[in-house]
Amino acid sequence: MHSRCNFACTYCYVYSGPDQSWRARPLTASAAVVAATAARIAEHVETHMLSEVHLNVHGGEPLLAGAGAPIGYVTTVREAIDAAVGPGFCRVQATVQTNGSRLTEGVVTELADAGLKIGVSLDGGLARHNRQRVDHGGRPGWPAASRGLRVLARHPDAYGGILCTIDPSSDPIEVYESLLAFTPPSMDLLLPHANWSSSPDHKPGTATPYGDWLADVFDHWFHAESPQTTIRLFTEILGLLTGQESGTESVGSSPVVAVVVDTDGAIEQVDSLKTAYSGAPETGLDVFRHSFDEALDHPGIAARQIGTAALSDQCLSCPVVRICGGGNYAHRFDARNGFRNPSVHCADLDRLIRHIARRLRPLLAEARLLRG
């Protein structure tokens, strides 16, 4: 939606990573790009008779263009789909992902009235958790973000949830409880984007700092009398352990179901691949000349359609491979041999998955006994 951001987070892979393609992109998606994208989405819905699609409007900071821009984008998509397959056939679930700084009572109300959910990206619920989230003058972004989040919390119908990137040096329970204070309906706790050629920061003295951090939060969340939110990573792992399919790229081996349309109309793979090398997300396709089905022929997308067949021998010999699925595709990259590697967070994922399995095992045994 918008290729620039009013924050300059020190770890941002879009603006500080190896792929600097944003510099050559238009600031915003033009009316022609919006119309062509809507037509391609409608074409895809009609071809596959889809009853639901998910549209995530992001940036940069999408609300730099005002609330009207994402609303106009989503409205154009909905109208194109209705024209293709008839009103009411396909539901468009639309979300705006924002840093929260532009959320006011008016903006939230406007987005909510148009049927858009709002997700907010944070590193925790206190100022000290968000030290790396600063503006271009180096000033803290937290005051504006927290004000916006408090406004959003008053509109539960519009509240999509919170994304939080893990800092292993923080107190996991403090981070979790501080985020709960903003009453999110869901949270996603994210491993930081890294790979074998750009390793994650590790807390000295532990082999699995992220796994340990997540295991502590899991116990606090899982053993609560009445959990106040869902945590996507945990519910995905619990689902996989009980035989369900995954709905995220973080774990499991379900086929990838998302592409990115940039402000110039380019069809790209997920933007986390920008952490690998310059041009990593590119497909050479665009909405003016190509359908979304054509993206399935791209090697990078095809590799994420074939499940465990795309994994390394080390992954295939691992007992948790069905749950882990090799981890996030971007986290497998190594400049020496590409993506056919375990995740750089392999040990942390193993630690978390085994921990959750141990907590779940007695409950499953009890359930089997109760069923006779």
Q: Is residue 359 part of a domain?
A: no
Query: Could you give the count of Cα atoms lying within 13 Å of 80 in the half-sphere of its Cβ?
Result: 20
Q: Residue 226: what pLDDT? A: 83
Q: Is residue 244 part of a domain?
A: no
Query: pLDDT by residue (tens digit) across 14-39?
Result: 998 999 999 999 999 999 999 999 99
Total domains in the fold of the chain: 1
Q: Is residue 293 part of a domain?
A: yes
pTM of the model as a whole: 0.94
- What's phi and psi for 27, nearest 5 deg? -60, -45
Q: Residue 230: what pLDDT? A: 97
Q: Residue 370: what pLDDT? A: 61
Query: pLDDT by residue (tens digit) across 315-357?
Result: 999 999 999 999 999 999 999 999 999 999 999 999 999 999 9
Q: Is residue 185 part of a domain?
A: yes
Q: Is residue 229 part of a domain?
A: yes
In the predicted structure, residue 204 carries a pLDDT above the cut 70: no
In the predicted structure, residue 372 carries a pLDDT above the cut 60: no
> Could you tell me the CATH number of the domain that includes residue 65?
3.20.20.70
CA distance 364 to 252: 20
Q: Is residue 171 part of a domain?
A: yes
Q: Is residue 41 part of a domain?
A: yes
Instruction: Read off the pLDDT of each residue in 249-277 and give the average, rounded to a whole number.
Output: 94
Give the per-residue SS3 of the chain: CECCCCECCCCCHHHHCCCCHHHHCCCECCHHHHHHHHHHHHHHHHHHCCCEEEEEECCCCHHHHCCHHHHHHHHHHHHHHHHHHCCCCCEEEEEEEECCCCCCHHHHHHHHHCCEEEEEEECCCCHHHHCCCEECCCCECHHHHHHHHHHHHCCCCCEEEEEEECCCCCCHHHHHHHHHCCCCCEEEEECCCCECCECCCCCCCCCCHHHHHHHHHHHHHHCCCCCCCEEHHHHHHHHHHCCCCCCCCCCCCCCCCCCEECCCCEEECCHHHHHCCCCCCEEEEECCCCCHHHHCCCHHHHCCCCHHHHCCHHHHCCCCHHHHCCCCHHHHCECCCECCCCCCCHHHHHHHHHHHHHHHHHHHHHHHHHCC
Q: Is residue 177 part of a domain?
A: yes
- Full domain range(s) for residue 113: 13-233+261-302
